[in-house]
Amino acid sequence: MRDASVSCIIPCYNCGKYVAQTIESLIHQTVKPAEILLINDASTDHTLDILRETEKKHEDVVKIIDLPENKGAAYARNLGVQNAAGNYILFMDSDDIAEPTLIAGYQHRLEKLNHETENRYILCYSAYIQIDDKDNQISEIVRGIQVNPEEVLGYFFVRNPIITTSGVLVEKAFLIKAGGFNPQLKYSEDWDLWIRLASLGGFAYVDEPLIKVRRHQTNLSASVAKMLEGEKSILTQYSVDYIKNAVYKRKLTVEENVVDYVSILNRIGYWEQGFAELNSLLEQGGSSHSLYFYLGLYYLQHNTVETALEYFEKTLALDSSNGAALNNAGALYLIKGNKAEAEKYLRSAIEYYPGYMDATYNMQLLHKENVLVEDVKFTWRQLRKVLTYYQS
């Protein structure tokens, strides 16, 4: 069965190794898309040849848009939206794999939620797993949560649960209303769009891993600072009052909302304003592991090593598997010269979170004679339950 309302868009740049498999995963959907638009972004390898072969094989559904010069994924996706015939857009990256029931599952979920509530759900995404270059699963299922439409914006300000565009289905009219992807952004351009869409309608979530996200060899650490700057540039488009109002609409405890709001203030450099919020919580009897963790970060930011360590240890007394607190405590013990304690904390962090780059890096400093603050890597937010994996 083919659904005339769904157009799939895949930006393609030097992706000859995997893109045919990605396309086939869409061709073999139980509910088939009306079209699959392949935006060749001036590839310099054999990608275009593979796309043309695929187009010949599936000429009824596959269409190629060939760009004469490289414009980037955001531009390519926007161009795809402009040329799409469907009312819904399904985004895919050129190396990921859709499970056969992805479109059918999304349709069922959207129909159910929009039938039950007057608030309109305009986007759908799912849980996913991560795979390596040989299709082997390398992570547990990465899950999101279903929240009410009025809560979505607050959750997305705090953290982006959709870390890949693959498998995101959006109503085209709202994509256009939101202004599409910002091609000027080099980092987090998808998160930027999700935030703008979250102010327009609800996000439906399917708690099944309907996407396989491929992880390649990469050097993420070199771009972490740029990614954080990118996040900051996005957040500073909004007033702190607007962000606070959105975060506080979530149906969580006051303490959870305050701490998450502080995590955003920290990311945009409003450390003293965040510290005032945390102190107010303490005075009201707050005692959560998250509260202690962010107090630890405040003192860490101000180079108050002993007090920071005290709060990270308080965090761990309540949440012994808190990876970020384990790493930060381990790093502080390294600075203090207590290698035995440092190793204990760092090993625990890696046991709980295999592939944890900050902790792995800090472990390598155990043999260094004198470790300084500038030598170690601290983690400045609490970790996701399942880390993003990168092949080494």
Residues 221-244: what's their mean pLDDT?
Answer: 84
Is the domain of 60 the same as that of 97?
yes
Listed range (64-68, 148-152, 187-191, 254-258) with the worst mean pLDDT:
187-191
The reply to whether 326 falls in a domain is yes
Retrieve residue 101's tokens.
């029931």
CB atoms within 10 A of CB 333: 22
Asked if the model's pLDDT at residue 385 lies above 90, the reply is: no
Residues 258 and 213 in one domain: no
Structural domain includes residue 385: no
Segments forming the whole domain that contains residue 338: 223-375
For residues 126-142, give the mean pLDDT.
91
The answer on 253 and 197 residing in a single domain is no
- What is the model's pLDDT at position 186? 83
pLDDT single digits (tens) 87-108: 999 999 999 999 999 999 999 9
pLDDT per residue as tens digits for the range 148-194: 999 999 999 999 989 889 999 999 999 999 999 999 988 889 999 99
Read off the pLDDT of each residue in 285-297 and give the average, rounded to a whole number.
97
Q: Does 303 have pLDDT greater than 80?
A: yes
Q: For residue 90, what are the β-bridge partners?
A: 8, 169
190 inside domain: yes
Which one-letter DSSP state was computed for residue 136? -
Domain count for the chain: 2
Q: Copy the structure tokens of residue 141.
A: 């299922």
29 found inside a domain: yes
Please check whether residues 128 and 250 belong to one and the same domain. Answer: no
pLDDT of residue 220: 44
Is 390 part of any domain?
no
- CATH number of residue 244's parent domain: 1.25.40.10
Do 235 and 114 belong together in one domain?
no
Mean pLDDT of 218-223: 45
- Could you give the percent of the chain with pLDDT greater than 70? 95
Would you call 26 exposed, middle or buried from its count of C-beta atoms within 10 A (0-12, 13-18, 19+)? buried
Q: Is residue 391 one of the residues assigned to a domain?
A: no
Six-digit token string for 196: 């703008």
Asked if residue 25 has pLDDT above 80, the reply is yes
Q: Same domain for 132 and 235?
A: no
Co-location of 184 and 268 in the same domain? no
Whether residue 186 lies inside any domain: the answer is yes
Q: Are residues 239 and 162 in the same domain?
A: no
DSSP string, 234-252: HHTTS-HHHHHHHHTTSSS
Q: Is the pLDDT assigned to residue 83 strictly greater than 70?
A: yes
pLDDT at 109 (0 to 100): 96
- The Cα–Cα gap between 53 and 26 comes to 16
What is the reported pLDDT for 390? Answer: 42
- Pair (192, 300) in one structural domain: no
380: in domain: no
CATH number at residue 165: 3.90.550.10
